[in-house]
Amino acid sequence: MAPHEDHAASAGSTAGTVSTAGTGTAAADRGTGVKDTVVRTLSAAGTAIGELASGLNTALLALLVLLWTALTAVTSLAGVGLLMAPAVLRALHALAGHERARLARRGPEVVAPEPAPTRLRLALVDPTTRRELRWLVRHATLGLLLGVLGVLLPVLAVRDSTFPLYWRLLPEEATATSLGVGLARSWPEALAVCLLGLGWVIIILGLAPGMARLQARPGRELLAAGPDVDLSLRVAELTATRAAALDAHAVELRRIERSLHDGTQNRIVSVTVLLGAARRMVARDPAGADELLERAQSAAEQALAELRTVSRSILPPVLDDRGLTGALSGLAAQSGVPCRIDVDVPDRCAASVEATAYFVVAEALTNIAKHSGARSATVTAHSRGGRLRLRVEDDGRGGADEHGGSGLTGIRRRIAALDGSLTLASPPGGPTTLEVDLPCGS
């Protein structure tokens, strides 16, 4: 009975070990999931605060233009305002164009209509001018309020959260909270103010993204070309991007042809020559023939490796096997600099979109390893609302030049072919941020 008991005990111990290991793996997965959720929430809130702050700049300008427009309308009754009307209209159109560019940098492109008139009589009946005026009123009021909150909330959060660090330095009757009420005369009261600061943080994390979308909505609805606007400019733009895509396709074909001609074809010719020589030598010099066969085999293996490299450069098989998440994880693992990756793409995109995203990240990581001198990089990929957004960041020296042979021009053309957008921020001294927005269904 003892052997059976030992065997049973051993089996029980093994089962307990497996169970413990499985529990530990599940706990680790949950921990990783919670960490990713926290990182995404903080990133979304930080991005939203940045959008609200940038929107505050245009909202302040919108308020000035709105006051100017109101002054012009009032003084027009006396005839004086009629002289200012063209300047007001030019300012309105310029501000609307600036807002379109701002929104395009932080999301999908806002397609501009045809240039609006600056003569008062034509502007009064122009639908584009009317839509811009409606946007002006909404952005100068609601947009300004949201922008102020977006800048003020982080200040309040920092002020109240750090209150226990400096509350003893304040005068006795100084207001403790950022709300302008309450006094703190003891540590419990100071910690209560700190809890208020944490409440501000929770409000930022929960509401900031929605506030940013609400601030941007009037611009996306009213500043885009409407159904009654001639889209000839958009057609011309798409024609240009199609031509650029065809040029990029021709360049890619020439690259593949050079790779096959200069590499694989030469090695196959070498294999043929070596096999012919070995065939002629096999009778009189078997040792020499065997050496030639080894060289032929080596050349054939190199040709096969080059063929695989060329085929992967056309469409990486890893995209079909593991999807975009697995493909980007593989690129991060092979990166020349330590790379952290955050991918949240629950649904598959079109094959052309996934291939473009893959090549954009591959080219970006190659540039980082070659030129940036960075110590680390981060790749983020999220899909929301039918759009795939990529973000590649590094802590290198910055100063990336799109026209300096870094491959960014080819990346932009490839993205434009799918009606996407690319934004590059690389000030001298760094960091460098590359942001790409692609439609998931192209």
pLDDT: is 155 or 322 the higher one? 155
C-alpha distances in Å from residue 223, one per residue of 99, 103, 155, 408: 8, 10, 31, 29
Mean of pLDDT values over 58-82: 88
Mean of pLDDT values over 104-120: 78
Mean of pLDDT values over 340-351: 84
The packing angle between helices 127-138 and 2-75, to 10°, is: 110
- CB count within 10 Å of CB 96 equals 28
> Which DSSP symbol is given to 363?
H
The verdict on whether omega for the bond into residue 115 sits within 30 degrees of 0, i.e. cis, is no
Sign of dihedral through CA atoms 25, 26, 28, 33? positive
C-alpha distances in Å from residue 394, one per residue of 265, 357, 367, 368, 377: 39, 18, 10, 7, 4
DSSP 3-state assignment of 226?
coil
Q: What is the DSSP code string of 104-121?
A: HHTSS-----SPPP-SHH
Pairwise CA distance, residues 383 & 89, whole Å: 38
What pLDDT was estimated at residue 152? 92
Least confident of 175-189, 236-250, 337-351, 366-380: 236-250
Does residue 11 register a pLDDT over 90?
Answer: no
Residues 239-266 have pLDDT tens digits of: 666 666 666 666 666 767 777 777 777 7
Tokens encoding 149: 């909150």
Pairwise CA distance, residues 247 & 171, whole Å: 70
Does residue 133 register a pLDDT over 90?
Answer: yes
Q: Are 220 and 103 in contact (CB under 8 A)?
A: yes
Pairwise CA distance, residues 394 & 430, whole Å: 8
What pLDDT was estimated at residue 36? 72
What pLDDT was estimated at residue 6? 45
- CB-count exposure of residue 298 (10 Å: 0-12, 13-18, 19+): middle
Helices (H), 76-111: 81-105
Least confident of 21-30, 108-117, 219-228, 430-439: 21-30
Alpha carbon of residue 156 to chain centroid: 29
C-alpha distances in Å from residue 96, one per residue of 90, 92, 216, 222, 351: 10, 6, 12, 10, 36
What pLDDT was estimated at residue 14? 39
What pLDDT was estimated at residue 160? 86
pLDDT: is 147 or 173 the higher one? 147
pLDDT: is 82 or 378 the higher one? 378
Antiparallel, parallel or unpaired: β 339-344 and 377-384: parallel
Pairwise CA distance, residues 280 & 286, whole Å: 10
Pairwise CA distance, residues 156 & 149, whole Å: 10
Does residue 149 register a pLDDT over 90?
Answer: yes
DSSP 3-state assignment of 342?
strand
pLDDT: is 148 or 300 the higher one? 148
Residue whose token pair is 């690319």: 422
Residue whose token pair is 């020499």: 288
What pLDDT was estimated at residue 22? 46
Residues 12-53 have pLDDT tens digits of: 443 444 344 444 555 555 656 677 777 888 888 888 898 999
What pLDDT was estimated at residue 237? 63
Residues 398-428 have pLDDT tens digits of: 877 766 555 677 788 778 777 788 888 888 8
Q: What percent of the chain has pLDDT over 90?
A: 16
Least confident of 39-53, 68-82, 194-208, 315-329: 315-329
Does residue 170 register a pLDDT over 90?
Answer: no
What pLDDT was estimated at residue 18? 39
As a whole number of Å, the end-to-end CA separation of the chain is 70
What pLDDT was estimated at residue 367? 85
Does residue 112 register a pLDDT over 80?
Answer: no
C-alpha distances in Å from residue 342, one per residue of 319, 377, 383, 425, 436: 17, 11, 12, 20, 15
Residues in CB range of 164: below 8 A, 6 or more apart: 187, 190, 191, 193, 194
C-alpha distances in Å from residue 157, one per residue of 38, 169, 203: 18, 19, 9
